Amino acid sequence: MRTLVLGGARSGKSAFAEQLVASEAVRYVATAVPDPADDDFAERIAAHQARRPANWTVIEGDAVAALAAAAAGDDAAVPANATFADGEATAAPATLIDDLGTWLTARIDARAAWESPRGAVAPDLDALVGAVAAYQDRLVIVSPEVGLGVIPATRSGRLFRDELGSLNQRLAQVCDEVYLLVAGQPIRVKPDRATASAAALSNSAEAIGTAAALSNSAHAIGIAAALTGSATAVAGTSADSVAAQSLSGTSTDAPGSAETAAGASVSLGGADAVAGAELVNGVSAAAAVADSGPELRKVLARPVEFGPVAGPDIGVRAAAEERQTRLTKPAGALGRLEALGNWVAACQGQCPPKQFERARVVVFAGDHGVARHGVSAYPSEVTAQMVANFRSGGAAVNVLARLADATVRVEDIAVDADTAPEISRFKVRRSSGSIDREDALTEEEVQASLAAGVAIADQEIDSGADLLVAGDMGIGNTTPATVLIAGLTDTEPVIAVGRGTGVDDAGWIRKTAAIRDAMWRARPVLRDPVALLRTASGADLAAMAGFLAQAATRRTPVILDGVVVTAAALVADQLAPGARAWWVAGHRSSEPSHKIALERLQLEPLLDMTMRLGEGSGALTALPVLRAAVATLAEMATFAEAGVSTADATETASA
């Protein structure tokens, strides 16, 4: 995947590009060369350096040489004047070049071509475009967009603008996707939605015929109307037959439903469909599968797409930090509670923040075929039994939710048994495949699972949820979770594998072997999050990934639970780059791979109590801590309100 990120000065293009690769190991190619006489430029470079994670490999040198070295797997091929910030020359799976403006400046300088006609740096431009076109690994390029400004007054300025404008056009042709940053907001300009809609509508004759047949079925039309979370269902039907009802039976006119169109989408094509229409967010292909089987799935299970996610409000976070200094306490005296309160304020977009009024836990339940091969201490039928326990209120998640003032919802995504209709509306299949020897899901099923997660998130947020927790229930689910984590972090199985539900040594050996085999099968698709979910996860984990990505898209904070949920979060952050900014880690479990995943997400857990139950239990145990952070920031008196002298005032009086 090759991505070009364009934007003007101070547009946020560099920060956005960094979000695109935030969940990966990164080779950062810094094209800017500091000028000791230019303090402003030095400040800009310092700001970029401060944002970079310490584990990124930084190369200062020519972008063409860096790409050639990366493609050859030989960083020694980088010129001698290139430097590595961490002293190593190890290849990284993602390359980020920032930016082409300073790269082009250096090329023109090198050829002393500022007063030359256009074309003097053509060999350099050709070399760069050729290197990008030939590059097969993850690549993100940042470049200034020069077509929106005034015509430069100088010849050299016009030369720079014209050369860079032409270079950007050529790179846009060879890159897989292009984003334009405007006032900090990303707009995807390649591929555009019109092209995607046209492609969706130009399906095979078989799919069109199926859509036409289904559009004549009152039952199918009713399902399509129920699935749409906002606007149009199917054209050519009466208004009465497409009364929009959400799957939970509530009206879809909830505030904010129109806003979700910017999030994930599932398109419906066919002869009787509105041209270019999309079923947005509230759509659940999984529910369609449950109600109408594979024929409706064929039409509805289109790819679910997420865009990059902007983070919580920076301005509100700064206001919260300033308010913390005015509260009746020494600065920083509440430790991490202060940072947590500031984060909540930024997520809510207001300072002081509001206490959470509707914290919701969604437990995603599903069985896994790999459990039949001795990787768990419990049989698969325990999953359905525990689902019944959740519904009766007798599980740990229920007890902890009551204590933390939260409510629990359970959804059967892939339980290997029949469950109550009200919790199986999003059911994709009975048990996922045994990932050590077969794919977990088909392509249709992984899309249905993602769409289910999106729809569940939308239902909860549209119903007023202001804090979400994803929980898990499924015998054997730590096996696919460990596969995802170890694969995405390039960790050896023996380091990542834990005891799960408490397997003995023989069980641990079987589990490690299964994870090793599944990792081998997943290796070719590690950089394709949807294919990875299809190959090596399960319907429940895929639904969790969709749920977490959509919660971030809808700007709703989430407390992550244990290893299974965090594995889904790793993939969700690839589906929706930047989503991690909307999550806080509730705890660190005793599973080794959980620590590895949290480090990759750069999340510091609130608690470390050696818990490993799942269900959302660790997140709920941490919820009171988050509530305390909100309460102290919102309800404590300031020095002025309480009439308490500040340290500054005391120093002034003594002077």
- Residues forming the active site: 615
Residues 6+ apart with CB under 8 A from 358: 407, 463, 464, 465, 466, 467
Nearest C-alpha neighbor of 412 from the set 285, 562, 539, 545: 539
CA distance 64 to 67: 5
Strands (E), 233-338: 265-267, 278-280
Residue labelled with tokens 């029949």: 418
Cα 325 from chain centre: 33
Question: H/E element holding 139?
Answer: strand 138-144
**DSSP single-letter state for residue 60:** E
Compute the half-sphere exposure of residue 383: CA atoms within 13 Å on the CB side of its CA: 29
Q: What's at 176, amino acid-wise?
A: D
Q: Please give the Cα distance from 503 to 498 (Å, whole number).
A: 9
Residue with tokens 């229920």: 398
Within the chain, how many helices (H) and strands (E) appear?
A: 26, 15
CA nearest neighbour of 236 among 252, 216, 220:
216
Give strand pairing partners of 651: none
Parallel, antiparallel or unpaired: strands 467-473 and 359-366: parallel
Q: What is the DSSP string of 347-412?
A: HHT-SSPPPPS-EEEEEEEE-BGGGGGS-SSS-THHHHHHHHHHHHT-SHHHHHHHHHTEEEEEEE
List of residues 6+ apart from 623 with CB closer than 8 A: 359, 404, 406, 467, 469, 559, 586
Q: How far apart are CA 580 and CA 23, in angstroms?
A: 9
Asked whether 386 and 410 are in contact (CB, 8 A), the reply is no
Of the candidates 52, 47, 49, which has an alpha carbon nearest to the alpha carbon of residue 19? 52
Question: Of 44, 72, 60, which is closest to residue 97 (Cα–Cα)?
Answer: 60
| CA–CA distances in Å: residue 199 to residues 196, 303, 571 | 5, 12, 26
**What six digits make up the tokens of 517?**
């085999």
| 623-628: long-range contacts, CB 8 A cutoff, minimum separation 24 | 623/359, 623/404, 623/406, 623/467, 623/469, 623/559, 623/586, 624/403, 624/404, 625/337, 625/340, 626/340, 626/344, 626/356, 626/467, 626/559, 626/584, 627/355, 627/356, 627/404, 627/405, 628/337
Longest dimension (CA), the chain: 87
Q: Which of 103, 106, 77 is nearest to 91 (CA)?
A: 77
- In whole angstroms, what is the distance from residue 17 CA to residue 236 CA? 43
Q: 3-class DSSP state for residue 53? A: coil
* Helix, strand, coil percentages, rounded to 5, for the chain: 50, 15, 35
Identify the CA nearest to 602 among candidates 314, 350, 311, 335. Answer: 311
